[in-house]
Structures are given as C-alpha cells and as structure tokens.
Chains A and B, each alone.
Chain A
Amino acid sequence: MLRKIDSIQLNNPRAKSGIIVTTVISISIVLLVNLMGYESFARNPPAGTVNTVNDWIGIQTWRVPVDNILLGDSTVAINWGTGPVSDRLGGTTVNLADTTGTSFLMDAWMLSAYVQRFGAPHNVIIERTSPSAYRVPPNKEYLAFLPLGWGWWNRYGVTPAWDWHEELDVFLTKYAVLISEGDMFRERILHPSKFFTRTIQATLPSSYYNPGTLWEQDPMDIKLNLPGAYFSESFAPSNSTTKALQYMSDLARSKKFQLYIVFQPEWDEAIEAGLRTKVLKAQEDYLSQFVDADYVHFVHDPALVFSKEQMQSTQHLRAQAANVFTEAYVNGIINIQNRLTADEAQPLVTTVNVDKTSYGIGEKPVITLTVNNKSKTDVKGSVSYLIRPIGRPDGEWVARAPAVSVNIPVEGKLDIELDQSVGEVNKAGVYDLVVFVRQDLGTLVNETRIELPGKIVVR
C-alpha cells in the first residue's frame, strides 16, 4: 500500500486536456449528486413544505369538485376541522392551509388553480394571522418545491412583484439543492432511508373534528411582553397581500362564490390591555376595501378570544379551543348566509324527539327529527346536531351527529334518526341539544337552529 502511494510521485502532470477532463468529471459528479438530491426532494420535500406540495398534488389530481375550501396559515391547518364546515355549509370540504411563510399569494394561486380546473366552489374560507401573515412575502422554499413547471407563478392570476435576483433565488432553491438544502441533504446522507422515502400524497377532501395542537406552549407573558413581536408589530400589509386579496375578491364576484375572510384568534389579556385595538382596527379598515354585500365578507366574532390556557401560542389553539374557534366562525358564516337567503328559505317545521329523559354515562341518546315541508317546492338539505354542556358555546360540544342529507318533497314529511358518531357524553351533567336543519339554496344555505337547553341529562 505504501509502495503504491510512493509510486504516485513518478506520474507526470497531464497536458491541458487533463485539466479539462478533471473539470468535466468533477462538475459531472456535482451535477449527478445534485440530480439525485433533486429527485429525493421531489419525493420527500423539505419539512414544512410537504403540506403545500400535497395540497397542489390534490388540486391537480382530484376527480370531482370540492364545495368548501379552507385556505390560510398554520392556524387554519392545525385549528380548523372540516367536519363542522361540511355539516353546516353542506358538501365536501378540503383544508388547503399551510403556514405563514406561504403568504396570501399561495392562497390566491391555489384558488385560481382550482377554479381553472373545476370552476367556482361554493365557499372559500381564509384566515391568516394579523399582522405578521399580512406582512410577509412568499417564502422561496415553499415556491421552489411545488410540483409545477418553471414560471408557474405567472399562470394563476396574480404575479409576485419580483426582481430578477429573487427569481434566481427560487431557481437555485429549486434546482441547486446541494446548495439550497445542504442541511437537509446532509441529514439524508446520514440517514439514507430518508433519501428514498416518499412523503408526498394528495391532500383530499375529508371530514374531521377535534383539531388543535398538543405542543408545548410558546412563551406568553403579557407582563414581560412575550412574544415580543406580538406586541411590537404594526399592521403593514405587503403589496403581494393586497394583490392576492384583491384577486380573490374579484374572482369571487366574477365566479359568484362566497369568500369569507376570518379574523384570527385573539389573546384575552392582550385585548383587555388594549394592545390589539390598533391592529384590529387597522385590519378591519384594510379588509373593508375588499368586502361587499353579496360575495366577499369578513368574519370578526367577539367569540374568537381565548385565554392563555387555551392557546399554544398567539396563533395556535388547544383542541377544545380549536373547536370553539371553528364553531364560532361557522356560526358567523351561517349568519351571513341566512341574511343572504332570508327571502328564499322555505318554511320547515321540525320536531325533535329524544328517547329518554336521562341517560347513563357514555350512553348514546336516540334523537329523531320529524321535518315537515310546508312549502310549495321540494327542499334539499341536511340535519345534524351537537350536544354541549348547558349554557356553554357550541364549540364546547362533547358529542355530535354529522349531517345527514335530506330531500323532503312538497308538503311532505320526513322522519330521520341521527347517529351520534362523533364524541360521547362521558360525564354526568346537564347538556343542551342543538339541532341544525339546513336548506341548500343553490350554493348558499339557510340554517334553522333549534336549541333545546338542558334536554340531555346524564346521571
């Protein structure tokens, strides 16, 4: 071995062609390894971008349209269930939310791509936390790893205000993964199975309840001004946010679908101290330029205020609080749609029957509805219910029966028993029964809400 090493001394340097050969081979190796990395990241995108990639794969591959689309940042991704949306607004629901870093532009692009493929959905509900998410431009990494051809951001209605060097940045992030994702590349070399793992799969419409995060709480202390940015940031939306919101608003009006911009969850201590007054006023004033009476609305419910114990951070909520948030904004949307469809709603008379006066813990009540159609047209819609502790908000529900479609002929009657398949009443106490009778009126709904306080007694 040492003699072989010694013999290296005897070789003579090569001529110019040797330098060229050396350069070509070394560049080829770099490009080959980079290509392997590119393929790996196409199958297994960098952490944090996977959701967005999956969302785009879904948009490109779904076979049927979706009725309700949820868009926005991690608050939506983590804290919004799709079940209550489907139950009360009807149809199927898909959650396409990702993170703050993707910005409103990503929401606009996704919506545009969906509309190009399927036409208008029924409802688009969007939330991004103010003021941080209104301020950010799109993060290059999120743009680079989407399964879309180069220049895709020019094909979906609204273009980012980029300089050439920003586009170069995206190019290098996408195609020079050895440089742009060196840290993750290193991790995959140290754990080779990650090199070949496939993590991408299409986001699909689904119906789920009980979202919320169990993560350890971020530092939150109003006396110490933690988190600092929450207290110091002013409302300063970026140009790309304004362009994106304007585009989505115009699209809603031209394609005639409903667009709801939901306000973020708020921390009660900050509200009481008056620390959010300015930002919320600025946000409301800003969003007012996009809203109208018929298609674009914002949902700003006082119920969207939470205690520190209910929050994992100033943006993310624990499970129960997430239900409160979801139910609160759905109530807000229902109120708007009820107003819009007040003249079209048909008279229905609904009777609710509960099989017992009291139940044991864990026992499922059998609840039957009788719906009489007193109108002169058939009525299509659904019925559902939830059970909540007496006097508490809808979002504190403990059990519910997902929506069951109904089709009641003119002057007809329908008896339907609902299946309480979500949650259970597992504590003794007195509970309210809230029944939702929904009428589908084109792309809108009209909901009749029947509240039966203390109807369910558990001993």
Chain B
Amino acid sequence: MIFTSWLFAGFIIVVSLIYFPLGRRWQWQNVLLLVASYISYGFFDWRFLTLLAGMTGINYLVGWAIAQSFSTEKEGGVNRRRSLLGIAIIFDLCVLVLFKYFNFFYDSLVSVFSTFGLIVDPVNLTPVLPIGLSFFTFMALTYPFDIYRQKITHTKRFLDFALFVSFFPTVVSGPVERAEHMLPQFQRARRITTENINEGLWLIIWGLFQKMVIADNVGWIVNRVYSNYTHFEGLDITIAIFAYTIQILADFGGYTDIARGVARFLGFDIFLNFNVPYFAINPRDFWSRWHISLSSWFRDYLYIPLGGNRKGKWRTNLNLLITMILVGLWHGAAWTFVVWGAWHGLLQVIYRLFGEKGQDTDRTIRGWTSALSLIGRTVLMVVLVAAGWAVFRATSFDQVAYLFTHFGFGTSTNSAGFILRLFCFTLPLVIVQIIQLRTKNPTFMARMNPSVRGLAYGLMLVSIMIFSQRVIPHFIYQGF
C-alpha cells in the first residue's frame, strides 16, 4: 500500500486497534505485524508473496545452517560456512538479476556482439519487477552474513525473522535494515512512550509534507522539462536539474520519515536514512548522510570484503569505484544509473587526492574565511551532486547530452514561474534542515512546545490537503 493513500491510513488504524491492546504480548504482536505486512505487500502484487516467503525461507535456512556449523564444527568448518553463505548470496543475487537485470545484461551483450558483427537472436523476458525486491533482498542477506561474521546468533523464531524481512514500513523502499538492528527489537516487549508518539507524529507529518507538498510540486517542473526536453534550454534546464535534486530528497526522505514514524508508533526504531545530505562538504560526508542504510550496507558487505582501504591507495580507489558503480546499478537496470554511480565513485577518488582536507567533515565556523569556505564547499557539493542527479533522472544518453549542452542562465517565459515554484516549495525544506543541522536532531520538533507543534502540524496538514496532487504519484524509490 502506498503510504500517502487513504487505504494505508485505514490499514494503520485497523492494525493499531489490534496491536496496542495486546500490550506486552510481543509474540502476538509480531504475528499481527507479520500478517499485516503480507497483506500490505499483497496489495501491490499478491503474486510475489511466495517470492518474499521463499527468499525469507532460504536466507533463514542458510543462517541456521551456518549457525549449526559454528556449534558443531568448532575448530574447522570455515569452508563449509563460506559455501553456505555463498549459496545465500548466489540465490539472492540470482533472483535479483533475473527479475531486474536479465534484459539489461542480455541487451547490452547483444549490442556488444553486434558491434563486432555477430548477430545474436534476441531473447526478451519481460518479468514484472517485484516491488521492493532490491530492498528486501539486501535485508534478508544481512542475516546469514551477520551470522557468518558472528555478529548475531541464529534465532529460533522463524516468524520474527519473516517479520524482519517483510516489515511493512521498510519492505518496499527501505531503509535497508539489518537483522542485527531489528531482530532484538522484534524479540522484546515494546515501550510506547510519549517520546515515541511525539517523534512518530512529527516524522509522519513531515514525511507526508515532504512527499505530497515539496516533492510532487517541484516534480512538476522536472516532469515538464524532462518529458519534452528539446523544447527547453538555458535556465529552464538548470532549474529542472536542481528541482530534481530537491524532489528526490523530499520524495525519498519523505518516504523514509513516514516509515520511521509508523515504526516509532509501533515501538520500533529504524535507521535514519537521510541526515541533511545537501549540507555535505565532500563526497565522503555526502554518503554518510544520503541513503545511509544503503551506503553502509555496500560498505559493510562489499567494500570492506573487497579490501576497503586496507590494500593501498590504488586498490582503495578501485574498490570505491566498483562499490559506487554497483550502488548505481542497484538503482536500476540502465547505463545512466551506472554512470551516476561511477560519477560518485570518481568524486570520491578525486577528493581523496586532497588527502585529509578532501575527507574532513569538521563544520566548525571559526571566522569569516572558514564560514565562506564551508559555504563554498557545500555549494560545490550540491552542484556536483545535482550534476549526477541529472544523469540519474535521464532516460537516455541523448537526453543527458542535450541537458549538459543546453543548460545555462538564458531565460524563457517559463523561467520566472519555475523559479518561484522551486523557491516556494524548497524553502520549508531548507528551513527545517537548517534546524535539524544546528540541533543535530532530526526530530527536533518533537521537543518543542505542544502549542508550537500543534500550529506547525496544523499548517502542514492544511498545506498537504491543498498542495497535494489529486492522483497519487508513486514514490520514486518504489521503482527501484
């Protein structure tokens, strides 16, 4: 179910009416949440419930087998455990590749062969991409992986693990949670505190505001320009690129905040996924603030196993590039995503050339020069990130080429309207993020005076009702 639909609101109310009276009976609460999660996922596409269940089962079994190996083969068994982990990885990645990447890789191969004059008969599978596949695959894989690394122990309660994989706030678009983080929460009684409720309320309302007011309304500019890009040039293209920069943050950040808010209400804490990312001052800082759950997953399960930064400067750079390219590819089966990932890898490599200065995340303002430096570095990062988003959003390299050869500052009759719209809808986001940055608290509003909160929430709800689009546009990251 889409978070911004009335159906989801009704669904949450029904679930809550059963959930809260169960009190400290967390086992029954987990059963309820599991059933609710499968119902919620089934609303998207009931055909893939078996895939979800199957992936849950395989990863659970592998995790059990690895744990068994630890307990029965105390001295040896490394190869066996490695093989078992390999089975889980291969199975999960095969499912992902089959549904998401088969046509992409096959078409690319056919294209390469045809360059050399070899004609290969096209095979066109048209699988439907199961919604959330990229997310729950990675979440499920953390279980056998973390058991292998002995960060967690195997849980005898299969239902709890099934709930972790299918948990309805996270299954469709993340955050990419870890078994290590969520299973202990599922396996104890929940405390619903006023702090939970206050934070949950803020996160949900702010999340809805980000998605339905900010993202959807600046997205109007993006859609207009990108769908008819050859009719635009100059400032219109520049604005559209920055509008997408805002849209994707508000859209995905909004989704995550709603997910976190719903989870908070239910007594769970899920990962902070966005930490004012456009205030980053270098690529390393950016990736510690943007889609944190995914970037940390790739760091822990790919970059570090590849060697991380332990094998010299060149290998580190190579590992960074490979990791970021795969981050790009994770987003979708298209070369534009790969190029976007490579761009971010390249930025990381280039910034590393400046040593500590290129990696420093100290934001202390000591005077005018440090303030100007901070602003300059922040602005530069925004521009570099925006350039990447322009490629990310494009549907072809022809479009990319056009955008980068036609952006500028020349105005048209549309420009004033675009600027005004972008400014008005971005302003609330900037204000809130400045406060979040200064207070170092994404849920600062939960700590404010109740009357001030009421006023803010009331105005945000009014804005949501007035400025939301009547047709429910999907969340961007549901497409991944």
Partner of B439, one of A8, A13, A25, A179: A8
Complex interface residues of chain A between 151 and 185 (CB less than 8 A to chain B): 178-179, 182-183, 185
B118 to chain A, nearest CB (A): 46
Enumerate A1-35 residues with CB–CB distance to B below 8 Å. Answer: 2, 5-6, 8-9, 11-19, 21-30, 33
Contacts of B441 in A (CB 8 A): 8-9
Tell me if B197 counts as interface (CB < 8 A to partner A).
Answer: yes
Whole-angstrom distance between the alpha carbons of A13 and B453 in the complex?
11
Q: What's the interface size class on A, roughly?
A: 20 to 34
- Asked whether A182 lies within 8 Å of B466 as measured between CB atoms, the reply is yes
Complex CA distance for A29 and B85, rounded to whole angstroms: 55
Does the CB pair B201–A5 fall under 8 Å? no
- Chain B residues lying within 8 Å of A178, measured Cβ to Cβ, are 462, 465-466
Name A253-274 residues within 8 Å CB distance of B: none
Q: Is there contact, CB below 8 Å, between A19 and B194?
A: yes
Contact present for A8 and B435 (CB under 8 Å): yes
Of B294-302, B402-410, B443-451, the segment with at least 4 beta carbons within 8 Å of chain A is B443-451
* A16 adjacent to B194 (CB under 8 Å): yes
Asked if residues B465 and A182 are in contact (CB atoms below 8 Å), the reply is yes
CB distance from B398 to the nearest CB of A (A): 33
Contacting B at CB under 8 A, from A178-199, are: 178-179, 182-183, 185-186, 189
Give Cα A22 to B450, complex, Å: 5
Judge whether A26 and B466 touch: CB under 8 Å: no
B438–A18 contact, CB under 8 A? no
Which single member of A15, A17, A28, A186 contacts B467 (CB below 8 Å)? A186
- Bound-complex Cα distance A29 to B454 (A): 8
Q: Which residues between 418 and 476 of chain B lie within 8 Å of chain A, taking CB atoms?
A: 434-435, 438-441, 444, 446-451, 453-455, 457-459, 461-462, 465-468, 470
Binding site of A, secondary structure by majority: helix, strand, loop or mixed? helix
Measured between alpha carbons, how far is A425 from B457 in the docked complex, in Å? 68
A182-B455 in contact (CB<8A): no
Select which of B194, B462, B465 is within 8 A of A13 by beta carbon.
Answer: B194
Give the contacts of B177-198 with A (CB-CB under 8 A).
Answer: 194-195, 197-198
Task: Please indicate the chain B residues that have their CB under 8 angstroms from the CB of A11 in the complex.
Answer: 447-449
List the B side residues contacting A2 at CB < 8 Å.
438
Q: How far is the CA of A18 from the CA of B451 in the complex (A)?
A: 8
* A21, B456: Cα distance in complex, Å: 12
What CA separation (Å) do A260 and B441 show in the bound complex? 72
Is the Cβ of A5 less than 8 Å from the Cβ of B468? Answer: no
A28: chain B residues at CB < 8 Å are 454, 458
- Complex interface: chain A residues within 8 A of B462 (CB): 29-30, 33, 178
CB B284 to nearest CB in A, in angstroms, measures 25
* B residues in contact with A24, CB < 8 Å: 454
Report how far A173 CA is from B454 CA in the complex, Å.
Answer: 26
Q: What is the predominant secondary structure among interface residues of chain B facing chain A? A: helix
Which residues of chain A have C-beta atoms less than 8 A from B455's C-beta? 25-26, 29
The reply to whether B454 and A23 form a contact with Cβ atoms under 8 Å apart is: yes
* Chain A residue nearest to B202 in the complex (CB): A22
Query: What separation, in Å, do the CA atoms of A13 and B448 have in the docked complex?
Result: 7
**Bound-state Cα–Cα, A183 to B434, Å:** 30
Instruction: Check if B457 sits within 8 Å of A22, measured CB to CB.
Output: yes
Give Cα A182 to B217, complex, Å: 14
A13 to B447, CA, bound (A): 5
CB distance A26 to B448 under 8 Å? no
Beta-carbon nearest neighbor of B438 in chain A: A5
In the complex, the answer to whether B447 meets A8 with C-beta atoms within 8 Å is: yes
**Are B470's CB and A182's CB within 8 A?**
yes
On whether A12 and B201 interact (CB within 8 A), knowing A2-B438, A6-B438, A179-B465, the answer reads no
- Shortest distance between the CB of B110 and any CB in chain A (Å): 40
Interchain CA distance A23-B453 in the complex, whole Å: 9
Bound complex: CA of A186 vs CA of B468, how far in Å? 10
Beta-carbon nearest neighbor of A23 in chain B: B454
Hey, what's the 0/1 contact readout for A370-401 against B, CB within 8 Å counting as 1? Answer: 00000000000000000000000000000000
Q: Among A6, A19, A182, which residue has its beta carbon within 8 angstroms of that of B198?
A: A19
- Who on chain A is nearest to B439 by CB? A9
**Residue of B at shortest CB range from A180?**
B465
On whether the beta carbons of A18 and B201 are closer than 8 Å, the reply is no
A89 to B459, CA, bound (A): 58
Distance of A21 from chain B, by nearest CB (Å) = 4
A8→B468 CA distance, assembly (Å) = 30
Taking CB atoms, residues of chain A closer than 8 Å to B446 are 13
Residues of B within 8 A of A12 (CB): 447
Residue contact B438 to A25, C-beta cutoff 8 Å: no
Bound together, the chains give a CA A188 to CA B257 distance in angstroms of 30
Select from chain B the residue with minimum beta-carbon distance to A7.
B439
How far apart sit A8 and B467, CA to CA, in the bound complex (Å)?
29
A181 to chain B, nearest CB (A): 9
Known: A9-B447, A29-B459. A14 touches B466 (CB 8 A): no
Cα A18 to Cα B198 with chains together (Å): 9
Determine how close the nearest CB of chain A comes to the CB of B177; give it in whole angstroms: 25
Q: In the assembled complex, which residues on chain A have CB atoms less than 8 Å from the CB atom of B453?
A: 18, 22, 25-26
Closest Cβ of chain A to B432, distance in Å, is 11
How distant is B463 from chain A, measured CB to nearest CB, in Å?
Answer: 10
Q: Is the CB of B458 within 8 A of A29?
A: yes
B439/A19 in contact, CB under 8 A:
no
Give, as a whole number of angstroms, the nearest-CB distance from B219 to chain A.
16
Q: How far is the CB of B457 from chain A (nearest CB, A)?
A: 4
Q: What are 14 residue pairs bridging A and B, where the CB atoms are less than 8 Å apart in the complex?
A: A5-B435, A6-B438, A8-B435, A9-B439, A9-B440, A9-B444, A13-B195, A14-B450, A26-B461, A29-B454, A29-B458, A30-B465, A182-B465, A182-B468
5 nearest CB pairs, A to B = A25-B454, A29-B458, A26-B457, A26-B458, A18-B450
In the complex, given contacts A8-B441, A8-B444, A26-B461, what are 10 additional A-B residue pairs having Cβ atoms less than 8 angstroms apart?
Answer: A8-B435, A9-B444, A18-B194, A23-B454, A25-B457, A26-B453, A29-B454, A30-B461, A185-B466, A186-B467
